[in-house]
Amino acid sequence: YSVPVRPFCKSAPPPPPRPPTVKRIWNQLFGRYLLVTNTVSSGVLMLIGDVAAQEIELRRNHQPSTAGYDQRRLFNMTLVGLSQGPLHHYLYKWVDAFLPGASIRTVFKKIGIDQFLISPIFIITYMYSAGLLEGASLESCTTEVRQKYWTIYAADWLVWPPTQFINFYLLGPKYRVLYINAITMLYNVFLCYIKHNDDFLSFLNEPTPEDSKDPAKVSA
């Protein structure tokens, strides 16, 4: 008579510990919901940029903040920012797929694509979408783009090449748009101010001392 031997059974391993709540949310925001993160952050930071721009305008005109902000303009700028989020998301995704890696040579190629392709697309879509939301005609938007495009594009060359070097060389792809949005929060102050003020070009039309001596230029 033999006693059956029960097979040795190992207990199931304990489930892996769940990451802390903050880390889990962070991983979801920059993983599964990256497009949503990029879109919402673009809209919020564009809104903050326009608030700052309007505050500067109020102070410049010696008006108190209690005079109030242009609510419709804030709403429009938020919509513009929301529209730019997916555009940046997919453009930078394409850049990283087209030029993988982070060597110095690759980084400078990415900066070239950013300055000669992405930046013009951003400026033009920004100017047209903001203008159309404000009720301007397509012809009026085109005129404004012709007047202000090169000023904004020149500023782009001062700001974005060093910014994008850090972006492409040091940061991972999933953080690109958030980083750009953080820098854009400051840059948006300039964009919103240029978009809603025509007197920024007035200094170009001011007569110089030499012009004041020329009757033809003075009369012009």
pLDDT score of 143 more than 90: yes
- Is residue 13 in some structural domain? no
pLDDT score of 16 more than 80: no
- Considering its fold, how many domains does the chain have in total? 1
Residue 184 is part of which domain span? 21-196
Token reading at 201: 């070009």
- Is residue 70 in some structural domain? yes
The CA-atom distances, in angstroms, between 180 and each of 28, 89, 92, 200 are: 19, 11, 11, 25
- Are 111 and 164 in contact by the 8 Å Cβ rule? The answer is yes
pTM over 0.75: no
- Is residue 2 in some structural domain? no
> How confident is the model at residue 79, as a pLDDT?
92
Q: What are the DSSP calls for 92-151, one per residue?
A: HHHHHHHS-S--HHHHHHHHHHIIIIIHHHHHHHHHHHHHHHTT--HHHHHHHHHHHHHH
- Is residue 171 in some structural domain? yes
- Are 127 and 141 in contact by the 8 Å Cβ rule? The answer is yes
CA dihedral 90, 177, 38, 69 (to 10 degrees): -120
The CA-atom distances, in angstroms, between 114 and each of 3, 24, 139 are: 77, 32, 27
Rounded to whole angstroms, the Cα distance separating 220 from 215 reads 8
State in Å, rounded, how far the first CA of the chain is from the last one: 121
Mean pLDDT of 102-130: 91
- Are 176 and 91 in contact by the 8 Å Cβ rule? The answer is no
Task: Count Cα atoms within 13 angstroms, Cβ side, for 123.
Answer: 25
- Is residue 87 in some structural domain? yes
Task: Kindly report, residue by residue over 34-71, the tens digit of the pLDDT.
Answer: 889 889 988 998 898 888 888 888 887 777 666 688 89
Q: Which of 17-26, 150-159, 199-208 has the lowest mean pLDDT?
A: 199-208
Task: Count Cα atoms within 13 angstroms, Cβ side, for 47.
Answer: 15
- Is residue 132 in some structural domain? yes
pLDDT score of 209 more than 60: no
> How confident is the model at residue 182, as a pLDDT?
82
Rounded to whole angstroms, the Cα distance separating 41 from 4 reads 66
pLDDT score of 112 more than 90: yes
- Is residue 215 in some structural domain? no
Rounded to whole angstroms, the Cα distance separating 120 from 83 reads 16
- Is residue 35 in some structural domain? yes
